[in-house]
Amino acid sequence: MIEVRNLSKSYGDFRAVDDVSFVCQPGRVTGFLGPNGAGKSTAMRMITGLTRPSSGSATIGGAHYADIPNPATQVGVLLDASAQHGGRTGREVLTIGARAMGLPGSRVDEMLALVGLTPKEAKRRVRNYSLGMRQRLGIAHALLGDPKVLILDEPANGLDPAGIHWMRQLLREYANRGGTVMLSSHLLHEIQIIADDLIVIGHGRIVASGTKDELLRTAGTRVRAHDRAALLQALKSAGLEATEASDAITSPATPEQVGLAAAAAGVPLLELREADGAGLEAMFLQLTADDQRDLISSEGAQA
Ligand code: ADP
């Protein structure tokens, strides 16, 4: 079990992680979801003892990471798939890891087979690996010591849809054997595929957490109009939160509230319905939009 209590990290007067508390349970895959810059990596670095918290604590199985003996046999960590010596082959990376952990060389072949790296690929230097291959190698490295806990930062980055499904199956089986998995992502749909539980972080703070099913039930409204700009304006004028999704507008408000606001502004609708998960999607898009606005305004300020 991973337990994070009131964890904070400040860089100067900027709070990258702000009073964050959560638990990742054994037998579950916990998705840590947030836009870029939300504080996911910083929190994971604190959990794995690489960054010192400003306050609060994080324990794994009741111990601080730095106090765990031969930690790679207890906790498998993948924080940056590209942080490998590019001149080594995949097989060499795993062999060095196995020796450092005191494991037999046969474990290397088992892991290569598990993550689907062929003998030919294992002989290739890591600098010539695609990002997806690096992720597979990183997962193999994290699993080498047969740990009970896995902590993976954006492991699905660079994987194709088939790769994401492969990872879901791998992590599902690992959790079914009683393992604890914490993985981060900045993509809602990716996490929806893989995770059982979700922790949503934005601007360093937890904004939602619970089982995926609970959070996806957070109903919201999906609405479409020919004149999207007019609809967006109508909802905002009525004080309703609204965010543009790919082909529609989502809002955490009810269809009734949205319909009345559109009618009051005289905007004809093409579609109006309650949508499971629309609340979560709207919240997440809002977080992402906020961040982009922050970025644009800070770039504007610097210019
Ligand atoms: P995420 O993993 O969610 O993309 P990070 O944890 O990497 O987010 O970063 C959170 C915020 O903290 C970002 O604004 C980032 O620029 C800032 N940050 C991270 N590390 C440092 C550091 N060493 N010094 C200053 N700011 C940092």
Q: 32-87: per-residue pLDDT in tens?
A: 999 999 999 999 999 999 999 999 999 999 999 999 999 999 999 999 888 888 89
Q: Which domain holds residue 290?
A: 216-297
Q: Give the Å distance between the CA of 152 and the centre of ligand 1.
A: 17
Residue 302 lies in a domain: no
Tell me: do 261 and 154 sit in the same domain. no
Residue 256 lies in a domain: yes
Contact between 105 and 98 under an 8 Å Cβ cutoff? The reply is yes
> Which residue lies with its CA nearest to atom 16 of ligand 1?
37
* Ligand 1 pocket test, candidate residues 8, 36, 42, 186, most atoms within 8 A of CB: 42
Decide which of 157, 180, 212 is a domain's last residue: 212
Ligand 1 atom nearest to 38, measured from its CA: 3
The pLDDT value given to residue 150: 97
Question: What residues in the chain have per-residue pLDDT under 50?
Answer: 299-303
Tell me: do 75 and 14 sit in the same domain. yes
Decide which of 191, 212, 233 is a domain's last residue: 212
> Which residue lies with its CA nearest to atom 21 of ligand 1?
11
The pLDDT value given to residue 291: 61
Number of domains the chain contains? 2
Tell me: do 157 and 258 sit in the same domain. no
Q: Give the Å distance between the CA of 118 and the centre of ligand 1.
A: 36
Tokens of 278: 């629309």
Tell me: do 193 and 228 sit in the same domain. no
